[in-house]
Amino acid sequence: MDIEIKLGSILELKKGHPCGANRWEIIRFGTDCKIKCLGCGRIVLIDRPTLKKRVKKILEEKSEEHS
Ligand SMILES: [Zn+2]
């Protein structure tokens, strides 16, 4: 399954953050991606192929129409 990741989306990863949360917001999406833990606010740099492999599901998708 190919998961479509968009800037601003909230993701659940296969492995949560050590702080106990498992909700991540995409704050940069390019060759390298930055994801922010919504539990503690920590920002993690991750490359795109690794991120795609680690995504379990998309919790919230950024939408232009429903803001
Ligand atoms: Zn955290």
- Per-residue model confidence as pLDDT tens digits over 7-65: 999 999 999 999 999 999 999 999 899 999 999 999 999 999 999 999 999 999 877 66
| Ligand 1 centroid from CA 37, angstroms | 5
Of 18, 37, 16, 15, whose CA–CA distance to 26 is shortest? 37
Give the global pTM: 0.86
| Ligand 1 centroid from CA 39, angstroms | 5
CA distances from 20 to 40, 41, 48 (A): 9, 12, 23
| Ligand 1 centroid from CA 20, angstroms | 6
> What pLDDT is attached to residue 4?
82
